[in-house]
């Protein structure tokens, strides 16, 4: 049971997709539903934590007793997450599927069709997870890694590059798991160990993740 394992802890979680505007009627996004992050927020709440959930645009209900802060773009997400961590944060979990690039400019008017081909200039978005993990006062920081090939290798690379304490690798090439489904299967890596969870419901995965993360948080300096 995770009863009280996070009591007195402040937890900040990102969830859902981001939405990057092209013009007043169009945007770039991805298939994240927010279900994994919302399940984590509920599990952290059940474990006794005070939870802030920074959420991209989703259509699922807010978990009761969780401070949900809605954001749209990757830039909004970084701002809201940084402000939430400024308020005090023991554990930061990034489960959002953030757009890596955004349109260089958002057209003021709807873009009209003209030639047969058109190119959209994209620029890199800020990385919320890497920014939080790199703070002097960084909380215990856990990232996700959605991969379709060489899952373990890319995930452990990401953990080192982004200075994470743990990373949750999600093989999103398996039909019925990962993006926009009710179930998931993950492998968690930390320096010196790993554990696989699922396939099972995102609620179950979230509960097991909170239990595992809490054990590491407890032993961390």
Half-sphere CA count of 64, side-chain side, radius 13 A: 1
Counting contacts by CB under 6 A, is residue 98 touching ligand PMT?
yes
What value, to the nearest 5°, has the Cα angle with vertex 47 and ends 183 and 204?
15
Counting contacts by CB under 6 A, is residue 143 touching ligand PMT?
yes
Q: Among 2, 55, 73, 95, which residue sits at the site for ligand PMT (rule: CB under 6 A)?
A: 95
Output b/e per residue, 42-52; b: 16+ Cβ within 10 A: bbbbbbbbbbb
3 appears as a binding residue in the annotation: no
In the chain, count H helices and then E strands: 5, 12
Q: Is 184 a catalytic residue?
A: no
Q: Are 148 and 170 within 8 A, CB to CB?
A: no
Counting contacts by CB under 6 A, is residue 141 touching ligand PMT?
no
Smallest gap from residue 48 Cβ to ligand PMT (A): 23
Of 47-55, 62-70, 125-133, 207-215, the window that binds ligand PMT (rule: CB under 6 A) is 125-133
Measuring CA to CA, which residue among 2, 50, 14 is closest to residue 211? 2
Q: Among 57, 106, 163, 179, which residue sits at the site for ligand PMT (rule: CB under 6 A)?
A: 179
Cα 113 to Cα 129: distance, rounded to the nearest angstrom: 37
144 appears as a binding residue in the annotation: yes
189 appears as a binding residue in the annotation: no
Query: For binding to ligand PMT (CB under 6 A), which residues are involved?
Result: 14, 16, 32-36, 74, 94-98, 100, 125, 127-129, 143-146, 158, 170, 172, 178-180
Active-site residue set = 30
């Amino acid at each position: 049971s995770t009863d009280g394992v996070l009591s007195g802890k402040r937890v900040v979680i990102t969830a859902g997709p981001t939405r990057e505007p092209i013009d007043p009627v169009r945007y770039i996004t991805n298939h994240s539903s927010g279900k994994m992050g919302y399940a984590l927020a509920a599990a952290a709440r059940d474990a006794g934590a005070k939870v802030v959930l920074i959420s991209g645009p989703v259509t699922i209900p807010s978990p009761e007793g969780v401070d949900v802060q809605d954001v749209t773009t990757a830039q909004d997400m970084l701002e809201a997450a940084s402000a939430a961590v400024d308020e005090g944060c023991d554990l930061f979990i990034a489960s959002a599927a953030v757009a890596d690039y955004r349109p260089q400019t958002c057209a003021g008017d709807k873009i009209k069709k003209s030639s047969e081909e058109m190119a959209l200039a994209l620029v890199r978005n800020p990385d919320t997870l890497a920014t939080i993990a790199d703070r002097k006062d960084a909380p215990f920081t856990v990232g996700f890694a959605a991969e379709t090939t060489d899952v373990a290798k890319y995930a452990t690379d990401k953990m080192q590059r982004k200075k994470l304490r743990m990373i949750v690798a999600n093989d999103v090439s398996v039909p019925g798991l990962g993006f926009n489904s009710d179930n998931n299967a993950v492998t968690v890596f930390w320096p010196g160990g790993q554990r696989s969870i699922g396939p099972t419901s995102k609620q179950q995965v979230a509960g097991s993740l909170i239990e595992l993360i809490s054990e590491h948080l407890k032993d961390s300096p």
